[in-house]
Amino acid sequence: MPTVIVDGIEVAIEKGERLNGIQAAERAGIDIPRYCWHPGLSVVASCRMCLVETGTRNPDTGQIAMVPKLVPACQTPATDNTVFVTTSEKVLQSRAMVEEDLLIDHPIDCPICDKAGECYLQDYHFEHGQKQRRADIRPFTSRRREMGSTVTLFVDRCVMCSRCVRFTREISGSAELMVINRGSDEEIDVFPGFPLENKLSGNVVDLCPVGALGDRDFLYKQRVWFMKQHDGVCTGCSTGCSILVEENQDTVYRLKPRENPHVNQWWMCDEGRYGYHHVHSGVRELEVRRRADSGYQNVEWAEALTEIDQKLRKAARLGVLLSPHLTVEEAYLLAKYARSIDTQALVALGPVPVVGEDERFHNGFTIRAEKCPNRRGVEEIVAHFMGRVATHEDLLAEIAAGGLRGVWVSGGYKAPSLDADTAARFDGLEILVVQDMFSSPLWEMATYQLPGAAFAEREGSYVNHADRLQTAQWAIRPPAGVRVEAGIYWRLLGGAGLYKARRVLDEVADTIRYFSVASRPVSPIGVDLKANLLAAATP
């Protein structure tokens, strides 16, 4: 097994693994500071912050021969017997010099900079920088320049790492960002008339190690140290990017991508990134209501659920629409509940929102036309209960044929999923329960209106287009008056205690072959459910 030695620590790497010094050091638990290197972009070795000493160890004698000059760890391959030294006097002085260099012309306006608290310049200054400023003092405020509709640039904070420029060339392929001028006059800019307008534009703000690139959606809204991060899954489309939901006191302020080599690498699209505002929309439904002759009346949850349960039992012939926005656990529980009342209950897949075509970018990142996170997962749940994938059309046909008396429609849609004409076809039922976030034609016909949760409030799993199951943590509590679907279904099924997604997933994995691999703990980057097919195939 090839071995790399970092500060005396031996790190074993796989034969054929191509690592650089930074990655090898990471394995040894050592963080080599850097600005310009990023695992998802080409190596430019221009910031010079990652300079280390390197050498080779003679495998026979154990003698170490060091190279006399410093080398960037990002461009130095870590192979068998490569030696890295990251803590020598030479290395520490070099880092202090680079850090000092970057601060010479920097406005150092942390009090008004969004990046404070997650800024490489701040962090590295404290860890590696000079104790005192030696360059001439020149306090000034950064100039600001808009790059496009999503990103703004604080010109003078830029450290010329060129990550953003490389992103627009290598990942989005749109090449809007460039460097202008030469030497210390260099700035990032866009060509006149060609602003930064591509659907992956928000990623350059994640990439920026300092506060130069700012997210116009997030600008000045919240200090990062007040926010808590929760592992989540983007519910914008069936790509299912791993994300972080950042919130403070139950308000979502920002979504960021989470590294997932199987799904989204380090990126997410703007639709997903900025697609959380509906969570705090002022027109979200917050009250449980019951239809009466005089109009809708508010009801308490407990009372409403008791009544609904009774009326569903009385209706006896049931149908449920499982929205592709529900988690696997929620879909399963709702179907199970319906079947616990009517063993022949029709379990159908809710309307699947599709907009346009799949959009593939330069490096392969794809924004999918299917604008929901869990059609695959819900489909398989439907198939398990029905033996086929029944759709909302099947359910409407059954209603028309008089075969159903009670229907529960689940939601989570950002916009009405059924138009007025289709909604009209739900007329004539004994009981129609509509559970969703926003009003819609169908909502206005419901016997019981139950306000539903948004993605940030759900805990549960989604299966993306490639059969990868990922589990999201809940990030915020739903607004007062709203209860998360999962908890309601759990309670209706007589479940004891708090709803925990993992318990339900255990049952789903045990019950439905498609999900069987998920019986083991699911890692933060998810699990490929197709592995179960291999297991099924091998005798």
Partner 1 sequence: MTPFEPILLANVGKPGSHTLAAYEATGGYAGMRKVLAEMTPAQVIELVKASNLRGRGGAGFPTGLKWFFLPKDHPGPIYMCINADESEPGTFNNRILMEDDPHQVLEGIIISCYATRAQTAYIYLRYEYPLSYDRLQAAIDELYAGNLLGKNILGKEFSLDIYLHRGAAAYICGEETGLIESLEGKRAWPRIKPPFPAVEGVFRKPTVVNNIETACCVTQIAARGVDWFKSMGVPADPKNPRDPGSYGPKLYCLSGHVNRPGCYEAPLGLTCRQLIDDFGGGVWKGRKAKAAIPGGISMGLLSESELDTPLDFAGPGKVGCLGLGTAAVVVLDETVSMVDFLHNSCRFFAHESCGQCTPCREGTAWSLTMLNRIRAGKGRLKDLDLLLEIGDTMGIIPGTTICGLSDGAAWPMKNAIRKFRGEFEEYIRRTNPTGYMETAAVEALPVLAHH
Q: What residues line the site for partner 1 (CB under 8 A)?
A: 43-49, 51, 69-72, 75, 93-94, 97-98, 101-102, 104-105, 132-138, 159-160, 162, 179, 181-186
Name the residue nearer to partner 1 (CB basis): 72 or 275: 72
Rounded least distance, CB 363 to partner 1, Å: 19
Cα torsion 518, 524, 528, 531: sign = negative
Complex with partner 1: residue 94 or 152, whichever CB lies closer: 94
Closer residue to partner 1 in complex, CB, 137/498: 137
Token pair recorded at residue 504 = 């339900």
Pull the structure tokens for residue 28. 């040894």
CB distance 188 to 214 below 8 Å: no
Question: What is the Cα–Cα distance from 104 to 239, expressed in whole angstroms?
Answer: 43
Q: Extract the runs of DSSP E, i.e. beta strands, from 388-510.
A: 406-409, 431-436, 448-451, 460-463, 468-472
When computed from its CA atoms, the radius of gyration of the chain, rounded to whole angstroms, is 27
- Least distance from C-beta 50 to partner 1, angstroms? 11
Minimum gap (Å) between residue 48 Cβ and partner 1: 5
Q: Which is nearer to partner 1, 143 or 228 (CB)?
A: 143
Is residue 235 within 8 A of residue 373, CB to CB? The reply is yes
Beta bridge partners of 431: 406
Question: How many whole angstroms separate alpha carbon 111 and alpha carbon 122?
Answer: 12
Closer to partner 1 by CB, 132 or 343: give it: 132
Q: Which amino acid is at 536?
A: A
Whichever of 187 and 507 has its CB closer to partner 1, that residue is: 187
Residue number with CB closer to partner 1 (90 or 425): 90
The Cα 5–Cα 85 span in angstroms is 8
Rounded distance between C-alpha atoms, residue 169 and residue 230, angstroms: 31
Q: Write down the least CB distance from residue 197 to partner 1, Å.
A: 23
Smallest distance, partner 1 to C-beta of residue 90, A:
8
Q: Which is nearer to partner 1, 9 or 71 (CB)?
A: 71
* Residues in a beta bridge with 66: 55
- Nearest distance from residue 178's CB to partner 1, in Å? 8
Cα dihedral across residues 376, 233, 454, 152: positive or negative: negative
What sign does the CA torsion over 481, 482, 487, 492 have?
A: positive
| Shortest distance in whole angstroms from residue 71 CB to partner 1 | 6
The per-residue b/e assignment along 244-259, b for 16 or more CB within 10 angstroms, e otherwise, is bbbbbeeebbbbbbbe
Comparing CB distances to partner 1, the nearer of 158 and 423 is 158
- Cβ partners under 8 Å of residue 317, min gap 6: 342, 344, 345, 403, 404, 405, 406
Q: Taking the alpha carbons of 535, 536, 537, 538 in that order, is the dihedral positive or negative?
A: positive
Smallest separation, CB 179 to partner 1 (Å)? 6
Kindly state the smallest distance separating residue 189's Cβ from partner 1, in Å.
13
Q: Is the CB of 77 or the CB of 428 nearer to partner 1?
A: 77
Q: What minimum distance in Å lies between the beta carbon of 46 and partner 1?
A: 4
Which letter does DSSP use for residue 492 in this model? H
Q: Which two tokens stand for residue 233?
A: 């899954």
- Is residue 278 within 8 A of residue 452, CB to CB? The reply is no
Contact 212, 198 (CB under 8 A): no
Residues in the chain: 539
Indicate the SS3 state at residue 532. helix
Find the DSSP H helices in 261-419. Answer: 270-273, 301-315, 328-341, 375-386, 392-400
CB of 6 to partner 1, least distance (A): 18
Q: Specify the residue, 101 or 398, whose C-beta has the smaller distance to partner 1.
A: 101
